[in-house]
Chains A and B, each alone.
Chain A
């Protein structure tokens, strides 16, 4: 079986920092991806973790703990354009990605 959990919605203000958590239980694990998706558009790749620890890429960072089945995406210096859905996805068996239900982030001024 497989289960990927994320909060459904989050709100934050411009300039703030927000952390989006993801927990997973999958029968296999070959890495975890974070994608951003604006309404009606295709997902765009943000980050990838396969080893424990923090990966930093500009305003976005992602953390992974394989022993805990846990990841988070950290967004700093929030901007209005960061309002979107953020999808946590697990590469379970080396091929397709299995997605969580996504977290809708609303950034207000």
Chain B
């Protein structure tokens, strides 16, 4: 159980275009989902917390107008990288926690490898 699905797994786009990444909780409802970014040989950095039915909470240094987050339902959150640039190339991973207990682990999607040319 507790499956998080992320799509696409890999995307290559041209500089200046926008890319949408979907994150779905397949067998549980998630009022909150988390978006992380990971550069090569670095750890996961929290970008934002996606809240169903309300605005996302962004971490310091993350541009909310560049990384648009929409959490329209209890099973779907989307991250749109707008006007992508080569420095946005990274591994983006979403995660969610089944249930309300903070003691339960986060479950991660398989990640999206974004390459901006």
Contacts and interface: CB of A to CB of B under 8 A. Distances in A.
A101 B42 contact: yes
Interface string B86-117: 00000101000000001101111111010000
A101 B42 CA distance: 6
Contact of B43 (A41, A45, A94, A102): A102
Contacts of B46: 96-99
A42 B108 contact: yes
Interface size class of A (residues with CB under 8 A): 20 to 34
Contacts of A30: 102-103
A98 B111 CA distance: 17
A43 interface: yes
Contacts of A45: 105-107
A50 B103 CA distance: 8
Interface majority SS (helix, strand, loop, mixed), chain B: strand
A33 interface: yes
A41 B111 contact: yes
Interface string B37-51: 000001111100100
Nearest to A97: B106
Interface size class of B (residues with CB under 8 A): 20 to 34
B105 A48 contact: yes
Contacts of A91: 102
Interface in A38-70: 40-45, 48, 50
A50 to B, nearest CB: 6
Contacts of A97: 34, 46, 106
Interface in A76-109: 87, 91, 94-102
Interface of A: 30-31, 33, 40-45, 48, 50, 87, 91, 94-102
25 contacts: A30-B102, A33-B106, A40-B91, A40-B111, A41-B110, A41-B111, A42-B6, A42-B93, A42-B109, A42-B110, A42-B111, A45-B105, A91-B102, A95-B102, A96-B34, A96-B49, A96-B106, A97-B34, A97-B46, A99-B36, A99-B43, A99-B44, A99-B46, A100-B43, A101-B42
Shortest Cβ-Cβ A-B pairs, 3 listed = A42-B108, A45-B105, A101-B43
